[in-house]
Structure 1
Amino acid sequence: MREIPQQVAESNGDRRPAAAVRRREALGLLLAAGSGSRYGSPKVLAHEGLWLRSAVEALLGGGCGHVLVVLGAAETPLPPGAEAVHAHRWADGVGESLRAGLRAAADHADARCAVIHLVDLPDVGSDVVARVLLAAADSPNGLARAFYGGRPGHPVVAARRHWEPMAGAAAGETGAREYLRRHGEMPTRVQCEDLATGRDQDGPDRNAPPGEPPLPYSGRQVHAFDGIEDSR
């Protein structure tokens, strides 16, 4: 597996990704469809949408021209530059969310690569996205993945030729894991631990105000802004 050491990534990753990939050619794919059962509520709604906005801003600021947000358990307004994709079988696992997102991405004819990201990584910013996107552009295989101290994480950048087989391999809670495992020598490892921890927020929200723990998710979300109701 090709690896970009941290010191090289530092010199390359902060360059504008447009030097290698034109903005319209990089499409952000944000997976945000889950119910957040361990967290206590859908993470796309966390902190009144702060994680959602941060993730979209990271993708756009890192070089993506547009962002597809895969929704499922909850509906919510999206920031400018983002478009909703609905994973109707979201409860089957993140693999279905990835499959829905990649199929929707195929309709964007100008897109040459997808920057796959998760909504529950609030400390991953645009500098990480830019670094991994540039590494993917330099990779002959068109695959690159952020690593944090030897631990694989997100974002993952995949050239268009990988989308169909990646979608085909996605199942249950494995997401792109099985596809990346099969191609273990292909993705470029991009060291990003100097920029973020890359750790997902998977437990109860420790940042909730004292005495106000997050409400348990009932599987039903009603939003007054547009009357959308989701009771899956």
Structure 2
Amino acid sequence: MRAIVEDYESNADVLILNDVTNRSLAIEVQRWDTDIHHRTEHRLSLGHEVLWLITDSAQLSPEMRHQVYLGRGAFIRVRTFDQPYVALKPWEQGAPRCVPVMEVAGTIARLDDSSGTLRGTQLPLMRVVDEILDGKRNWIFPGSNVFKNRSGAGRTGGAWVRNIDYTNALIRASGLNIQPLPETSFYGRRSAPIVRPLSFLELDTGDGRT
């Protein structure tokens, strides 16, 4: 795995390359309006997948915010494992000292086992990036028949979805007597559960985790 900051050719904030899967991801952190479509097409033409990260402080027009749901975007914030719904600002003086994690939401989808449909969720950024580079999670337009809100209403627009979750959602929606694909199938295994990342001190001394 290699990362290039401020890549010249793609003009991405960060370009991550996975030499094992031969996949690459151009990441752009955006705080104001821009031409998402044109800039995305340029990076796709170079063979890179594209992920737009929109911060909490972003000053976006309604049209630009709408484009996030159409053009490979996601909303990003910093939170703590102890209080998963509390946003952090570790760069500010006096901020609580705790282990932060960057989390993405808004267009991240998962298979809901109870309903058999895709639902929006929030996940650590690095898990999503790893799955994209591994080819397990892709940007698609699932369709309102399988992509639902909690109320059950269909969602339009795109989403970052694991291949196996999308396939199993289609199987469930078909009503046919077909067994869902197992997590050990070719389409990808279930992501590991969220665990607290190691602190710098633990990395130095080792805590037995590998």
| Bigger proportion of residues as helix | 1
Does TM, normalized by the shorter one, top 0.5?
A: no
Task: State which structure, 1 or 2, has the greater radius of gyration over its C-alpha atoms.
Answer: 2
When normalised by structure 1's length, the TM-score is: 0.24
Higher relative contact order (CA 8 A, sep 6+): 1
Higher strand share: 2
